[in-house]
Amino acid sequence: MSIESIEEFVKRIGVTAEIKFVGASDVARTYDIQYRCASREFTLRYNDYAECPRVQIPTEALDEAASEAASVENSSNLWEWCSQFYGVEPDSSIIIDPEEMYLIHQRQTRDLKDFLGEANFNQLLNGVKRLYEEG
């Protein structure tokens, strides 16, 4: 499996995206991104904390979703996911309930896999260089 950029991956499989601004807070702008590929659709809510240029948002969001999907795919349960990927205990009282966050990430992972199909999903997780990956 060869390593490609996320931009190359998106172009190769024919993913398009439509961005809808949802709102803003003091720390982030929130967007809903509607991805399309063939006859399939996938909607992703994305919080942009870095105020990246609007044209980069679909790529940034898909890259983040891939990282989150990898964390779900590489953990066998809530406890493992929390400790390995977020450094918290499942019963921690942080801003959002860790179990709720885990369930959100599981659902998003399932939806992303359904959207891309098994082969493209695996390519995205294992054969696409993350945007902020060193090397």
Q: pLDDT tens, 64-99?
A: 999 999 989 999 888 888 877 766 665 655 556 778
Residue 117 φ then ψ, to 5°: 85, 155
Domain that holds residue 78: 4-16+53-129
Separation CA 23–CA 14 (nearest Å): 28
Whether 29 is covered by a domain: the verdict is no
The model carries a pTM of 0.85
Domain count, the chain: 1
CA distance 6 to 9: 5
Count CB-CB contacts under 10 A for residue 99.
13
Amino acid at 10: V
**111 within a domain of the structure (yes/no):** yes
The residue type found at 24 is A
Q: In the chain, what is the straight-line distance between the N-terminal and C-terminal CA atoms, in Å?
A: 17
